Structure 1
């Protein structure tokens, strides 16, 4: 008899838990998003509180795959900065199904990555976008370790809300400073899976990072070499940096500072993130980049770093900011429930301190390669900020043996970029003609790259 009542109790408990999960899911369902084109897939947005004892909550926007979501992998997209929004950039400007088209609304992205996967866009850390903390001290303690821990806590909470996705193959992707976020989170998941109970296991299979900050010293040297090889800086500036700058040292000489100012000055009139793109001219005083809240410590002493123009649309950032500051949009997304004291910005205006940022994440990448994860690194080759030269120098530091030699890969009968495969599971691919945000300028090629990454198939080696 006791067994019967015990079984009944657990059945009722499980039914109650399932009902609560369904209620929370439905509460996060987005139904009346202003300007949204009609679609058949579902999407959800809202907050996941990280820990009971804290007042932190991260905001997410989740899109089910356009077809057969129960059979598609699950991908988490993270953006960089640190301090920039994966929703403002990734979801609304690059690879999400709804792109902010102008001051009035959204357009359907024919090359959205949710054509082949279920995708979560996460605003992280707290202070970014709609993600918040009610403890101002939290904003002074942000860094790589806190971000990784909070992102992991988010995933544990998110899977409790969406348990049907727990068994799906799980991947992480991101760009820019997500070159830190993604491997660090993957490492926490990998270690957590060793000791976790069955209910908290995350089915991590790999990750993909683009134009990624991964090794400080080679990232800087590659940036200098790229600017010279693309005729942005003069021989005088290039050789002046070469002779006078030792980036291994914390404090650079006055001579180095002079030539570095020449370097940054050369980029003042163009977009360092996409060197052949126009810049937004709506503001006659010029645009100021907010894509980097915190520069690498090797460059923080150069004030000009924070006054570089940025473009693409080239005014898309203005439209995105206006759209997400619309109260009807926030209501539809179940966002800004605490009524933040500051407006929505593409990159955080409240994060002023970054407490830890290791010079390199190459050892983490190597560790996860050894653990058998699938890892792809890609590079849009018109990015001057984390250019293809930086990424090649950084990968070379790992000393990996080449498995499949450098070759062209194709999309729609044209060369889409070049690719090399290394022993141990690392693939490096370039995307021809794309800047820092690859899906903006090469949407079809980026979707092809993403699709091949998920399937672990080689990129096309011929035109036909």
Structure 2
């Protein structure tokens, strides 16, 4: 969740003034974000036929258009004049030599993990079970982030002690327990109070499919004030949205995966800016 705050005013005692919040590809409710979202998503993307209700392995669940590499391999470190690694420059291409991700044992949202009370399992805890069932841990390229966040100058600027462990994605530093249950009551409460809310989803994320977010936003029972329509970025259709009463908007980003700004930075900046400034998306 990304909260939206306003600053303090002259002569007013300092305090937090919550204006609204954004949630991107976020899990809300076990009923809506479980199989009820996954199966329609996979069927709608022509990944499974009508008669098949068991997904096959081999897809990158964080973006079904991206390749998924596993096992051993070599890291791609070639750079051009921009100084960016080749893997970063080629983001979005489907036929490319991505480096193998070997630091997956963290607390990213585990494949098929339930949204229920208790300890959220790590990939390490799930590995043996996944292998026994013929699945594998999906891979994501974290080469750029790893290089950047472990850079000496960056660590100094962030005041990260050199004695601390090196950064790696989804570090398993602290146990995380889920004890809040469904988020639906929270959304009902916040929207009833008039807080602005933008729920957005990359439409190629199979980790937390947009089908679930679309369903639970509709389930709040709010009046539709802006029927399903496209929205544009750089004069091109960038996705679709539906707006409800009480300042709630559900929006999709065409071609984006689980981490929307990673795949569609320009489009993300456009809808972020318009929403924050109160403009029509």
TM-score of Structure 1 vs Structure 2, range by shorter chain: 0.7 to 0.9
- Is 1:308 paired with 2:137? yes
Corresponding residue number in structure 1 for 2:240: 418
Q: Which runs of 5+ in 1 are unaligned?
A: 1-75, 79-118, 120-154, 156-164, 169-197, 239-258, 460-464
Q: Map 1:246-261 to 2 at 5 A.
A: 259=54
Q: Shift of residue 282 of structure 1?
A: 8.9
The one-character-per-residue Cα deviations of 1:384-408 (angstroms, maximum 9, x if unpaired) are: 1111101112112212221111111
Corresponding residue number in structure 2 for 1:391: 213
The one-character-per-residue Cα deviations of 1:168-215 (angstroms, maximum 9, x if unpaired) are: 7xxxxxxxxxxxxxxxxxxxxxxxxxxxxx645112211111111111
Which secondary structure state, in structure 2, belongs to the residue aligned with residue 394 of structure 1?
Answer: helix
Distance across 1 between alignment mates of 2:64 and 2:206: 6
Distance across 2 between alignment mates of 1:383 and 1:458: 25
Distance across 2 between alignment mates of 1:332 and 1:392: 40
| Residues 394 and 426 of structure 1: CA distance in aligned 2, closer, same or farther (over 3 Å) | same
| Residues 231 and 386 of structure 1: CA distance in aligned 2, closer, same or farther (over 3 Å) | same
- Is 1:327 paired with 2:152? yes
> When the two structures are superposed, what TM-score results if normalisation uses the length of structure 2?
0.73
The one-character-per-residue Cα deviations of 1:49-91 (angstroms, maximum 9, x if unpaired) are: xxxxxxxxxxxxxxxxxxxxxxxxxxx959xxxxxxxxxxxxx
Root-mean-square deviation (CA), in Å?
Answer: 3.1
| Residues 310 and 450 of structure 1: CA distance in aligned 2, closer, same or farther (over 3 Å) | same
Distance across 1 between alignment mates of 2:242 and 2:229: 7
Choose which of 47, 50, 65 in structure 2 pairs with 1:276: 65
Q: Shift of residue 347 of structure 1?
A: 0.6
| Residues 410 and 425 of structure 1: CA distance in aligned 2, closer, same or farther (over 3 Å) | same
- Is 1:230 paired with 2:30? no
Corresponding residue number in structure 1 for 2:167: 344
Q: Shift of residue 236 of structure 1?
A: 4.8
Choose which of 15, 20, 31 in structure 2 pairs with 1:206: 20
Q: Map 1:350-369 to 2 at 5 A.
A: 350-351=173-174, 353-369=175-191
Q: Shift of residue 363 of structure 1?
A: 1.2
Which secondary structure state, in structure 2, belongs to the residue aligned with residue 415 of structure 1?
Answer: strand
Corresponding residue number in structure 2 for 1:433: 255
Corresponding residue number in structure 2 for 1:296: 114
Distance across 2 between alignment mates of 1:308 and 1:237: 22
Whether the 8 Å CA contact 2:37–2:209 is kept in 1: the answer is yes
| Residues 354 and 415 of structure 1: CA distance in aligned 2, closer, same or farther (over 3 Å) | same
Whether the 8 Å CA contact 1:270–1:310 is kept in 2: the answer is no
Whether the 8 Å CA contact 1:217–1:359 is kept in 2: the answer is no
Which secondary structure state, in structure 2, belongs to the residue aligned with residue 424 of structure 1?
Answer: helix
Distance across 2 between alignment mates of 1:448 and 1:283: 38
Whether the 8 Å CA contact 1:416–1:431 is kept in 2: the answer is yes
| Residues 287 and 319 of structure 1: CA distance in aligned 2, closer, same or farther (over 3 Å) | same
Structure whose residues are more often helix by fraction: 1
Distance across 1 between alignment mates of 2:139 and 2:203: 17
Which secondary structure state, in structure 1, belongs to the residue aligned with residue 177 of structure 2?
Answer: coil
Distance across 1 between alignment mates of 2:157 and 2:259: 27
Whether the 8 Å CA contact 1:293–1:348 is kept in 2: the answer is no
Whether the 8 Å CA contact 1:293–1:347 is kept in 2: the answer is no
Whether the 8 Å CA contact 1:416–1:432 is kept in 2: the answer is yes
Q: Map 1:37-186 to 2 at 5 A.
A: 77=2, 166-167=7-8
Q: Shift of residue 436 of structure 1?
A: 1.0
Whose radius of gyration is greater, 1 or 2?
1
Whether the 8 Å CA contact 2:195–2:246 is kept in 1: the answer is no
Choose which of 381, 386, 399 in structure 1 pairs with 2:203: 381
Distance across 2 between alignment mates of 1:329 and 1:282: 30
| Residues 454 and 280 of structure 1: CA distance in aligned 2, closer, same or farther (over 3 Å) | same
Q: Shift of residue 296 of structure 1?
A: 3.0
